[in-house]
Structure 1
């Protein structure tokens, strides 16, 4: 059992460089961040600011060029079921049904058939897809596919869910409904969520903390704790006051980069 005082994720002075043809791309520069168990943290910033790169380092898909990425004070060396990733394009197996997509991780971990069934039943119910358990991804709407993707991560016993603009391709009404559903799942499961978005409004609606990143090479510009009570009203004066503050921080970086 990890001590309560140890963050679930620590990013300590992380730099990340890529070689692209003959150029060196500096994606992250001296980025540091600590996330406590159970927090919902949103990362916002301009395109190319390193948000997704930072998420992939947390997932173990990328290694830092310098600095350290830790989970429970241990170096993140590669992907692990305890850190689940949800992508904008769903990344479901098209040849598997909803039930089999969700059960893929538990089956791969060697759970018995009965235990896999109980796990799948639990998470199909959690995301409200009982009537679509035997359907295939091509038979589902975008919102349903994203619910399957979330359930698949949770069924794999993830402690940390990393979400890379998961609702970016959805229509506004579906997006709002899934935001509400994600918050309900988060509050019921006590998961830790790190969520990348371009939308300031989405970040304020969802997060305990909103981390603003500078344009590339990405640095942590500010870490903003939100004290808004839940459920949050996007039309309230308090909500819009925070939106103006965060918008000013983002736009000041755009202006500096353009100058």
Structure 2
């Protein structure tokens, strides 16, 4: 099949330049990245290295200044439901219930009411929020809000889920629980996930591949495939060997000024 040989997402020699008043910001320089369907890829790097910019280009929120961003071999021309974004601040509609937040995408696409209800029920159950279906965002914990945000993306038929430090604002215990839940969802659905994080440990725990980015301007320094069996133990020697290697790659560039 052609699709299986074509990367679901491909970034070819992508550069991104922003003009900020009289200053030119080189956010990305000559980035190349190929992601196959079903992979879980983490992007790590210091602030200002272009992680979020790269994610926004894949989402279609930003256009490359040079190079190509492709999905299934076709240029990404703007946002689409097939590429769903999950933000750190949840970005839920405060006036809608959990059920209506999750059903917003399918309803906007004009699907029959019965299909919307069935879709919402499926994903509310998947993220374990059936008892909170009629609650509003202000009645939920941070972890619950993030689960709603993930379910909303999945209900909108996303093939690729783009996550920009989604657990960064959560306490350690909630973060660990949601990491486990995200892995469970990923393994059950076959989704493709691109996940931005500052945490080397989080990247190794979650992903198949860890892409290390360096600042000034943002470049992909290395693309590291992980051979660790799952479930992963953060205290194991193998896990910590990888953490040391990736840490050395990441911190060797700290002398450079972040953009």
TM-score of the pair, normalised by structure 1: 0.98
Distance in 2, Cα, partners of 1:94 & 1:110: 22
Distance in 2, Cα, partners of 1:103 & 1:130: 14
Distance in 2, Cα, partners of 1:112 & 1:3: 29
Distance in 1, Cα, partners of 2:256 & 2:136: 48
Residue number in structure 2 paired with 1:233: 233
Residue number in structure 2 paired with 1:205: 205
SS at match of 1:143: helix
- What root-mean-square deviation, in Å, do the aligned CA atoms of Structure 1 and Structure 2 show? 1.0
Distance in 2, Cα, partners of 1:257 & 1:137: 39
Distance in 1, Cα, partners of 2:16 & 2:215: 14
Distance in 2, Cα, partners of 1:226 & 1:257: 29
SS at match of 2:3: coil
Residues 201 and 243, structure 1, Cα contact 8 Å, conserved in 2:
yes
SS at match of 1:41: strand
Deviations 1:50-91 (A, max 9, x none): 000000000000000000000000000000000000000000
Deviations 1:103-132 (A, max 9, x none): 000000110000000000000000000000
Matched positions, count: 258
Q: Equivalent residues in 2 for 1:33-112 (5 A)? A: 33-112=33-112
| Structure 1: gaps spanning 5 or more residues | none
Residue number in structure 2 paired with 1:136: 136
Residue number in structure 2 paired with 1:11: 11
Give the CA deviation at 1:29.
0.3
TM-score of the pair, normalised by structure 2: 0.98
| Structure 2: gaps spanning 5 or more residues | none
Q: Does 1:164 align with 2:164?
A: yes
Deviations 1:34-59 (A, max 9, x none): 00000000000000000000000000
Residues 2 and 72, structure 1, Cα contact 8 Å, conserved in 2:
no
Residue number in structure 2 paired with 1:175: 175
Residues 98 and 132, structure 1, Cα contact 8 Å, conserved in 2:
yes
Residues 163 and 196, structure 1, Cα contact 8 Å, conserved in 2:
yes
